[in-house]
């Protein structure tokens, strides 16, 4: 009977906390739905540029093999390789074909290379030559970890800062610290700014150490400036900090704070670049524009794998700054329920 009393109490507790009960059912189904969209997407279609000296028969075979073919000059092809608008560039050195792969995405590399090889093998008679391959970014020795690594840095920083910030700010509220601060002449924006700077000092150290460990200890590919990596990881951490603080205002316990993870963090992981977005439906890809982790991971990959500089990552930096400011403003608004001044 005493055991049954505990069982009944837990059942009543769950029914009183309807949000927990709903998330136990809805969150797993939501994550599974996202996984279905991501993994059951369309087959990747490589975009291959061809020079004027590539025979029309080869171009036709590339199209038959499923490639999206563009006819570009050498200058145009190099620019579009830089801008990641094409996956490969095919030109002829005499009678021998030469393919230049964009190089930073293993999925696109394999698709482009397989398509070109299939096109030449389907010709009659089959040409007898060896396809020369070069890489615009990266190399043939580039490991999968080098491609996924920059995204993982962003994911881990965002996840842990979001979780720690949310739980810490929740404790400030439940312990009465925030209530005492709200009783002082401090304005709401000053309180938010103070918390952002205070927590931000520690998140900056965390982001710096994670970046250093990944690049120097794990020997992750690093083609660009480490300083730019620190800027991006700092902005990602500040965005996660502001978002964690904001959502903690709607949680009454640490368990409820944890419940935001499958709804806020996991969807961002799917759209961060760990999986090729080009294979998803267009309406699904459009969701990535409202996810901060997408911009941080894209900038980190541009720096570490492609060796790009300020001109390439500037837009991502401005967007992350915008997200941080937006979440801070919403934090100020959320504090109205504690004090209206």
> Is the separation of the CB atoms in 317 and 232 below 8 Å?
yes
Say what the pLDDT of residue 24 is: 67
Cα Rg, the chain, nearest whole Å? 25
- Model-level pTM greater than 0.95? no
Residues 6+ apart with CB under 8 A from 214: 149, 152, 153, 220
pLDDT at 124: 65
Name all domains of the chain by residue range, CATH numbers in brackets: 47-135 (3.40.190.10), 144-337 (no CATH)
| Residue 194 neighbours by CB distance under 10 Å | 12
Predicted local confidence at residue 19, as pLDDT: 65
Report long-range pairs for 63-67 (Cβ below 8 Å, ≥24 apart): 64/119, 64/122, 65/115, 65/116, 65/118, 65/119, 65/122, 66/115, 67/112, 67/115, 67/116, 67/119
Choose among 313, 279, 282, 285: nearest CA to 298: 313
What is the residue whose two structure tokens read 């400011």?
A: 325
Tens-binned pLDDT, residue by residue, of the chain (341 aa): 667 776 777 677 666 766 666 666 776 777 777 777 766 667 788 889 888 888 888 888 888 888 888 888 888 888 888 888 899 999 887 778 888 888 888 878 888 888 888 888 887 677 666 788 888 887 777 777 788 888 889 998 998 888 888 888 888 878 877 778 777 777 888 888 888 888 888 888 888 888 899 888 888 888 889 999 999 999 999 999 999 988 888 877 777 788 788 888 888 888 887 777 776 777 777 888 889 999 999 999 999 988 888 988 999 999 999 999 999 999 888 877 655 44
Name 328's Cβ contacts closer than 8 Å, sequence gap at least 6. Answer: 192, 193, 196, 242
Tell me how far apart the alpha carbons of residues 334 and 7 are, in angstroms, rounded to a whole number. 37
Predicted confidence at residue 340, as pLDDT, reads 47
Query: How many whole angstroms separate alpha carbon 149 and alpha carbon 210?
Result: 11
Output the pLDDT for position 14: 62
Distance between CA 296 and CA 324 in Å, rounded?
A: 12
What is the DSSP secondary structure assignment for residue 310, as one 8-state letter? H
* Preceding omega of 125 cis (within 30 degrees of 0): yes
């Amino acid at each position: 009977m005493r055991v049954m009393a505990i069982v009944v109490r837990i059942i009543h507790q769950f029914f009183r906390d309807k949000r927990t009960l709903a998330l136990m059912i809805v969150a797993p189904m939501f994550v599974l739905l996202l996984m279905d969209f991501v993994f059951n997407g369309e087959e990747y279609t490589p975009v291959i540029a061809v020079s004027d000296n590539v025979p029309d028969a080869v171009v036709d075979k590339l199209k038959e093999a499923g490639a999206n073919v563009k006819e570009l000059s050498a200058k145009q092809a190099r620019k579009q390789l830089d801008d990641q608008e094409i996956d490969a560039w095919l030109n002829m050195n005499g009678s021998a074909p030469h393919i230049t792969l964009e190089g930073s995405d293993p999925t696109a590399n394999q698709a482009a290379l397989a398509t070109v090889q299939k096109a030449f093998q389907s010709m009659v008679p089959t040409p007898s030559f060896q396809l020369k391959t070069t890489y615009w970014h990266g190399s043939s020795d580039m490991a999968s970890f080098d491609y996924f690594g920059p995204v993982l840095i962003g994911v881990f920083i965002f996840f842990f800062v979001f979780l720690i910030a949310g739980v810490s700010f929740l404790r400030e509220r439940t312990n009465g610290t925030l209530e005492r601060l709200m009783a002082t002449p401090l304005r709401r924006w000053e309180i938010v700014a103070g918390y952002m700077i205070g927590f931000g000092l520690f998140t900056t150290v965390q982001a710096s150490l994670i970046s250093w460990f990944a690049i120097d200890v794990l020997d992750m590919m690093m083609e660009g400036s480490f300083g730019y990596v620190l800027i991006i990881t700092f902005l990602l951490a500040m965005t996660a900090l502001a978002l964690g603080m904001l959502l903690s205002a709607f949680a009454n316990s640490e368990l409820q704070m944890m419940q935001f993870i499958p709804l806020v963090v996991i969807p961002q992981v799917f759209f961060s670049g760990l999986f090729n977005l080009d294979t998803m439906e267009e309406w699904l890809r459009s969701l990535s524009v409202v996810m901060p982790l997408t911009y941080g991971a894209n900038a980190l990959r541009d720096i570490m794998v492609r060796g790009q500089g300020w001109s390439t990552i500037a837009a991502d930096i401005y967007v992350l700054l915008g997200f941080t400011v937006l979440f801070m403003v919403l934090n100020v608004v959320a504090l109205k329920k504690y004090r209206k001044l």
